[in-house]
Amino acid sequence: MSDLVEQLVHGLTLGSLYAMVATGLALMFGVVRLINFAHGEFYMLGGYAFWYAYAELGLPYPVAGLAAAAAMAGFGLAYERGVIRAILTRTWHVQLIATLATSITMTNLAILVFGTQPKEVPTRLSAAILDVGGVRLAWQRLLVLVAAVAIFAGLEWFVAHAKLGKAMRAMSQNREACAVVGVDVQQVALATFGISAGLAGAAAALVSPLFNIFPDVGALLTLKAFAAVIVGGFGYVRGAIAAAFLIGIAESLAAGYVSYAYKDAIAFVVMVAVLLVRPQGLFGRRIGI
Amino acid sequence: MRAVRWGLGSGVLVAVPWIVAAALPGQQRYVLHVLIFTALYGALALSYDLVVGHVGSLSLAHPAFFGLGAYAAALLATEGRWPFAAALPAGIAVAALVALAVGVPMFRLTEHSFAMGTLGFAIVTQVVATNWVDFTHGPLCVTGIPKPQVGALRIATLPAFYWMGLAALALVALLYRGLTTFRLGRAFHAVRDNETLAAAAAIDPLRYRMLAFVIGGAVAGGVGALYVSYVGVLCPGELTVGLSINLLVMIFLGGVGSLRGVLVGAAAFTALPEVLRMAPTWRMVIYGLLLLVIVIRLPDGLEGVIRRGTSLGRRAPGAR
Amino acid sequence: MTGTGHRMIGIAIAVGLAWGLAADAPPARAQGAPPIRVGFSSAMTGPSAITGEGVKWAAQMLADEYNAKGGIMGRKIELYWGDNAGTPGEAVSAVRKLVDVDKVDVIVGQTHSGACLGALPVVKELQVPMVIEACSHPKIRELIGKNGNEWAFRVNPDDVMLANQFAKFMAQSTKTVSIFAQNDDFGRGAATAYDAAFKKVGIKLVSTEFFDRGQADYRPVLTRVKRANPEAVLLVMLASEGSVFMRQFREVGLTQKLYARGSMATVEFLYQVKDSPNIADGLVEATYWTPALDPAWEKQWLERWKVPVRIHGSLAAIAFRYAVAPAIEQAIKKTGKADRKAIRDALEEVDVHNTPVGRIKFDDTHQAFINMLLVEISGGQLKVLEKIPIQP
């Protein structure tokens, strides 16, 4: 029993990670209909930003975490201006190659700049262990979960109530109409990239103390988050979050009870099965984010 | 005129081993090696473009078919002691059969889900190749794969492998040409450009998509079998998702849906790293940036540049 | 027209950038006698790029050191890189480039067994000597030397050669073991070797798990280990994964005795866990290189690269310093030149006693037999427990 609880706990940690990355992907897809294949690399860069602020500059953990998220938000804005704006109106294949090219460039630049040795950023919370009836977990895992839930709640509120958030939702439903009624479409797209990249940075600041930061940490992450976005129903943020947690938990259970070596295969088999039964994704084809 | 040009071109291609030896003495073996990889990558990229460029399905399963053909041929040649003439068709057949079996459910998925589903299949294939150690040897790799021997003809030298690669590429190019022009090609493009309209015109989208997918998979399997016969070792690391990315880069760099474009893309992709001789990591960075600039500035890939460059403005064969 | 103009400018910039960097550094010609061209080949891109980085750093240190002394017998060392990305196909390309384009006289490397297996037939075909520094596939020994490839030599032992001794050591205090190994040639090869060795000494193998490198979360499998409850765990992993693994090992609350193969009892590892240096106390690793063997090298490395000395670079350095360099020297003395054939012949004669790793002399299978070490992490420090000569 405690065994199962343990596996579920791992699943929730992984799920939070996937969900924070998938949310960014889903937002981008929802608002501008573009899949950012460099999103895992955003997480990687966020990790290095956090490492720099926390381990090199010696900032306190919350400050360093926010700094990483802010730095990545800034990076997201620059990315939108520098790369995305040039390809927004182009076909999907141009977008695909452009974001893939960004991902190749970022990974290899990271090798050059930061080296291949993984960076470790243990915090006080990642070393402190909570023991509940034999199930032991680092406090950091709780922090990841709580912070992830808080972020998602904040995002919900933002999309429902803030002016910018409402504009994002409107754009995800009908871009042309938005332009007609005077929504500054470009500004909204810009903000979406800032928020999405900021989320990746926040995810990195939360999760890196548990795992390592290294140049190609993003590769598999993009795929898993992408899977969550699709299983969740394309561009539907709540669906993507739920799917991300499902994938995280499925992966943990598979690793714990079936085979560790085959866990990624199992995660993807489950995903394909879901897609075959419900090609529109688990949560239907909703319009909007 | 055309025939003369074709004849001349083919003659030059066949004579490459001698030309290279005369032009670059001392380096000819390396250049030939790069050309062999270019030919095999070119054939693989063409088979991939059948699916992506002509029926418009973004499949990410290609590394799996390449790997299935490679593993089938490698295992049959080493453990089964099959001759090359049997192992190669077996590799093609295995890849084709699996493509058929996988394609049926996959094509129930639409665009992005299809991409994801095929990606899932590719990952599963790689994980199985890595972990089913008793059968595939896993990360310990299949070693000692024999050089091809067909009757008295033994392919063991670099020029021989070059001609083998060239012949394979020529065959695949002919197949590609045949499939993408004429009535069949028009049906493919109808399916790609407007599925609903195609269906209304009594063109069954699924049938044509499956046709391209299975043929593409079979060719990829065949290239896989040739590849392992050349390299002599097969490890599961050869069929990563990274191969899909390389192939995508090749066809988009060169020009989707165009025979010449894809070949130029494959050549540029394999040759570029050799031309850009520098620290490997820098090479990848430059390569990523170059790709970004090309794809933003040159949407039709290099094929677009070539077409604009030829003042005649003729439409390239196979172009949209 | 302006659109095309812009495009052309874009291409021109990109190509210019590429060429500018490409032309960056043609190796400086040495004065007088022609230089010795040495190729170092390892994974410099892709998921295993960390090994290639270490190899490259070590090679640069060596070249500077030898060239400052005037080279070997007055011949400067010139370095060339081959990137095998850890795969056989790329290794073929890397070797062909090093030999035909860069015209190297000798190759050190490949690091990864898959790459080694791909490179072996090519070095034989091109007739260039290759000294293997770290490929651990047991099959390699069946392929080189009198077994068919006179051009390849291997300095490092493989796990078939280490396992019996190490298993004997474990059996003194352990009856049941779980193996946790990285899912590559090294991990799989070691797992097979130890499975066999355990049977001989009466250790029961409770479970074997494989993980892919770059994995984030080991907890699911640690929970499995908890369930299987062995007395000890044998880790086959590198420092880069090991630190995260050990944190989670402690998080789960496991207290099993730890044995290791790879680079766990290393300064790399201790550097990664510097916030909690005692995390892996009691771990005993079977290895053949540790910084204590050569403190001067470690110090030099740290000064130059500001990171702890890496095992893969150090192995490449050992291969160069105690096999390749003496062979070059001997070749020049004997034949007056250092061409590929002369270096190959000289490698067969190399016999260097008292290197930091023991004696380096290749037998007729072109395998050297250096010492095996048992290194323990104790109080956050490395302690060499035993030096055991490996028997041919």
Task: Render pLDDT for C119-153 as a digit per residue (tens, 0 to 9).
Answer: 999 999 999 999 999 998 888 988 998 988 999 99
- Among B29, B43, B45, B36, which Cα is nearest to B13's? B36
pLDDT, position B9: 84
Give backbone dihedrals phi and psi of C154, rounded to 5 degrees, phi first. -125, 125
CB nearest to A108's CB, from B109, B128, B281: B281
Rounded mean pLDDT of A220-243?
A: 86
CB nearest to C243's CB, from A120, A126, A137: A120
How far off is chain A from B82, nearest CA to CA, in Å?
Answer: 31
Measured distance CA(C224)–CA(B70) in Å, rounded: 35
pLDDT, position B53: 85
DSSP symbol at B107: T
| CB atoms A98 and B296 under 8 Å | yes
Does the pLDDT at position A203 exceed 90?
yes
Give backbone dihedrals phi and psi of A88, rounded to 5 degrees, phi first. -60, -40
Please, are residues B221 and B62 in contact by the beta-carbon 8 Å criterion?
Answer: no
- Cβ-proximal residues to C36 (8 Å cutoff; 6+ apart), any chain: C71, C72, C75, C76, C77, C78, C105, C106, C328, C338
pLDDT, position C50: 84
Rounded mean pLDDT of C188-196?
A: 91
pLDDT, position C12: 44
pLDDT, position B168: 95
Residue B107 vs residues B111, B113, B211, B214, C322: alpha-carbon distances, Å: 9, 10, 12, 12, 60
Rounded mean pLDDT of B34-62?
A: 91
CB nearest to B287's CB, from A35, A104, A281: A104
Question: Letter for the amino acid at A17?
Answer: L
pLDDT in tens, C39-65: 999 998 877 888 898 999 999 999 999
| CB atoms C93 and B37 under 8 Å | yes
- Higher pLDDT: A40 or A265? It is A40
Mutate which of A105, A116, A229, A266 to test chain B, going by most B C-beta atoms within 10 A?
A: A105
Strand order in the sheet with C130-132: C77-83, C36-42, C106-109, C130-132, C152-154
Measured distance CA(A258)–CA(A270) in Å, rounded: 14
Give this prediction's pTM.
0.85
Confidence class for position B276, pLDDT limits 50, 70, 90 = low
Structure tokens at C254: 């496991």
Task: Map residue B276 onto helix, strand or coil.
Answer: coil
pLDDT, position A288: 60
Rounded mean pLDDT of A73-96?
A: 89
How far off is chain A from C174, nearest CA to CA, in Å?
Answer: 25
Rounded mean pLDDT of B257-284?
A: 79
Nearest CA in chain B to A272: B117
**Rounded (10°) CA dihedral C39, C41, C45, C48:** -150
> What subunits touch chain B, counting only 3 or more CB pairs under 8 A?
A, C
Chain A neighbors of B105, CB-CB under 8 A: 276
How far off is chain A from B313, nearest CA to CA, in Å?
Answer: 24
Does the pLDDT at position A146 exceed 60?
yes
| CB atoms A214 and C240 under 8 Å | yes
pLDDT, position B308: 79
pLDDT, position A202: 96
Nearest CA in chain A to C183: A261
Measured distance CA(B264)–CA(B298) in Å, rounded: 14
Residue C80 vs residues A113, B75, B281, C39, C331: alpha-carbon distances, Å: 22, 35, 14, 5, 21
pLDDT, position A28: 92
Residue C204 at interface with chain A, using a CB cutoff of 8 Å: no
- Higher pLDDT: B19 or C300? It is C300
Q: Can you spell out the DSSP letters for B196-208?
A: HHHHHTT--HHHH
Rounded mean pLDDT of C239-248?
A: 87
Confidence class for position A284, pLDDT limits 50, 70, 90 = low
- Higher pLDDT: B302 or A77? It is A77
Rounded mean pLDDT of C258-275?
A: 89
Does the pLDDT at position A76 exceed 90?
yes
Measured distance CA(B144)–CA(B18) in Å, rounded: 29
Residue B10 at interface with chain C, using a CB cutoff of 8 Å: no
Q: Among B177-191, C133-147, C224-238, whose mean pLDDT is lowest?
A: B177-191
Does the pLDDT at position B118 exceed 70?
yes
Residue C147 at interface with chain A, using a CB cutoff of 8 Å: no
Does the pLDDT at position B13 exceed 50?
yes
> What subunits touch chain A, counting only 3 or more CB pairs under 8 A?
B, C
Q: Among A116-125, A278-287, B233-242, whose mean pLDDT is lowest?
A: A278-287
Question: Letter for the amino acid at C353?
Answer: H
Interface confidence, given as ipTM, is: 0.86
pLDDT, position C21: 42
| CB atoms B285 and A226 under 8 Å | no
pLDDT, position C67: 94
What mean pLDDT is reported for chain C?
Answer: 86
pLDDT, position A192: 94
pLDDT, position B6: 82
Give the sign of the dihedral formed by CA B128, CA B129, CA B135, CA B141.
Answer: negative
- Residues β-bridged to residue C383: C376
- Among C276, C263, C255, which Cα is nearest to C187's? C263
pLDDT, position B149: 85
pLDDT in tens, A158-177: 988 998 988 888 888 887 78
Identify each DSSP E strand in chain B by its residue range. 149-150, 153-154
| CB atoms B296 and A94 under 8 Å | yes
pLDDT, position C19: 43
pLDDT, position C14: 46
Chain A neighbors of C45, CB-CB under 8 A: 108, 111
pLDDT, position B39: 94
CB nearest to A272's CB, from B110, B121, B299: B121
Strand order in the sheet with C284-287: C204-211, C176-182, C232-237, C257-262, C284-287, C371-378, C381-389
Confidence class for position C225, pLDDT limits 50, 70, 90 = confident
Nearest CA in chain B to C16: B290
The number of C-alpha atoms within 13 Å of C347 and in the hemisphere containing its C-beta is: 34
> What subunits touch chain C, counting only 3 or more CB pairs under 8 A?
A, B
Could you tell me how many CB contacts below 8 A there are between chain A and chain C? 98
Confidence class for position C29, pLDDT limits 50, 70, 90 = very low
Task: Map residue A11 onto helix, strand or coil.
Answer: helix
Mutate which of C4, C8, C9, C11 to test chain B, going by most B C-beta atoms within 10 A?
A: C11
CB nearest to C45's CB, from A108, A207, A212: A108
pLDDT, position A285: 57
pLDDT in tens, B152-182: 888 888 899 999 999 999 999 999 998 888 8
Q: At what angle do helices A2-32 and A218-231 cross, to 10 degrees?
A: 80
Nearest CA in chain C to A118: C240
Confidence class for position B277, pLDDT limits 50, 70, 90 = low
| CB atoms A211 and C275 under 8 Å | no
What mean pLDDT is reported for chain B?
Answer: 85
Please, are residues C248 and C273 in contact by the beta-carbon 8 Å criterion?
Answer: no
Does the pLDDT at position C32 exceed 70?
no
DSSP symbol at C308: P
Task: Map residue B231 onto helix, strand or coil.
Answer: helix
B150-157 long-range CB contacts below 8 Å, 24 or more apart? B150/B83, B150/B84, B150/B85, B151/B85, B155/B229
Please, are residues B219 and B47 in contact by the beta-carbon 8 Å criterion?
Answer: yes
Rounded mean pLDDT of B42-70?
A: 92
Nearest CA in chain A to C268: A117
Chain C neighbors of B165, CB-CB under 8 A: none
How far off is chain C from B31, nearest CA to CA, in Å?
Answer: 9
pLDDT, position C28: 45
pLDDT, position B173: 94
